[in-house]
Amino acid sequence: MPLQVSAAAKRRRDAINVKFCRARQRECKAAERTFSVCDCGEPCQDGRRLPADARPSTFAHMQSAAHPAHTVRPGSMERAARVRALDLLRLFAALQMVQGHTIDAVLALDARHGALHAAWVWLRGLTSVAFLFATGVAFHLMALRERAVREHDRAGVVRRLRRAGWLVLLGYVLHAPLAVLWGQPSPAAWREAVIVDVLQCIGVSLLLLELVALVLRATRGVRVASWLLAGTCLLAAPSFAALRADGAWRPLLNYVTPQAGSIFPLLPWAAHVFAGVALAPWLLAPGRRALRWLLAGLGLVLLGPLAGLAGADSAAMQLPRLGWVLVLGAALERLEPATRAWPAWAWRLPSETLFIYAFHVLLVYGQGIGLVALLGPRLPPGLALLVAAGVIALSFGAALGYRRVLPTLAVRTAPG
């Protein structure tokens, strides 16, 4: 016997769907574009809004919400609401990540000097910040945006928790102590196996955000909590930096201190994820997005030295990095219209950054089989650039092709 739905429940569901569609419709109109899948009654084709005489009736679209087959499904907004400037930022960060790791692995030590090398090192410092910040913005897009106009999506929560747990697990897998097979002392290999790298930092940050969202429920409360968490990570980092991570508690202490070799402990790096959640509503508001990114970025760049004068050393280092990432985001926001003609495969790459990361880490740092072991830092700049170009081509090509070969392993990073 089919489940009977009361008239009051139908009216509440229809009101939620209509309100959701109207909110998406206003956003589409303000941005003069819709996304890859439009569910707001303002259809588009290849990024261009259709002329008025070619559009179906918006009222008819909203009326169809009363039928279960046309109800806006939880998660449909997640697939639809891709922000191309954010995708461009992730694509730029992926390029920076692969070339940075590759060149650092094979560039001769006596070639690491001069202004050009210093500029390259400075740009490398923005890569991880870009990924972490994009993760926070993506969490806003998936978990918080339009939260007030749709019912709690339990399936979405489970899916995001599973994804965060997978990131943490994959981070440890990539540091598995396989080096003992090539003669590395066992204690050193096991110490390296429990350090915290960027995947663990992102995964645990997402788990914390999901728990905060479940407890507070209100979107504004989650954003306020994100501001507080970001500030706490920056201000507490110097105190925890001197904490020794020894004994049985080493795996947990590695999440808050770099003393035992952790590359991305939560303090201070998770601050960039929380900042992404806190800043996303303002940065993604319709109208003058590039200006918003630019103002926020320059403000953070200027705030860094002030934090240094106040004795907040970690904030003085991290805030300018995040600021320059936002300045880059402003430039990409301005360039976004020129990229709409890019082929579809180019827009698949930003969704494959997790695969690109894992694949290139094996190529460059694979224990006993990577470029670090096979070549080492001995190549001149020209050859190092050629090797980096080859690793980029191989990693990006594999990211585009692996879904057809191994579809069950096609794990996406959070859409943004």
Per-residue pLDDT tens digits for 307-351: 999 999 999 999 999 999 999 999 999 999 999 899 999 999 999
Count of beta carbons in the 10 Å neighbourhood of residue 342: 13
Query: What end-to-end distance do the CA atoms of the chain give, in Å?
Result: 41
- Helix (H) / strand (E) element for 216: namely helix 198-216
C-alpha–C-alpha distance, residues 304 and 230, integer Å:
14
What is the radius of gyration, based on Cα positions, of the chain? 23
Identify the burial level of 18 via C-beta atoms within 10 angstroms of its C-beta, where 0-12 means exposed, 13-18 middle and 19 or more buried.
middle
C-alpha–C-alpha distance, residues 137 and 416, integer Å:
7
Which phi and psi angles does 107 have, rounded to 5°?
Answer: -70, 130
pLDDT of residue 174: 92
Tell me the three state secondary structure of residue 113: coil
Model confidence at 12: pLDDT above 70? no
pLDDT digits (tens, 9 = 90+) for 48-73: 444 443 433 333 333 333 333 333 34
C-alpha–C-alpha distance, residues 274 and 230, integer Å:
5
Helices 381-405, 353-365: inter-axial angle, 10-degree rounding: 130
**Mean pLDDT over the full length of the chain:** 82
| β-sheet bridge partners, residue 45 | 48
Model confidence at 47: pLDDT above 70? no
Residue tagged 């390259």 (tokens):
120
Q: How confident is the model at residue 22 (pLDDT cuts 50, 70, 90)?
A: low
pLDDT of residue 58: 34
**Which has more confidence, 143 or 254?**
254
Q: Which structure tokens are listed for 128? A: 């991880």
- Helix (H) / strand (E) element for 17: namely helix 7-31
pTM: 0.79
Q: Which structure tokens are listed for 82? A: 């891709």
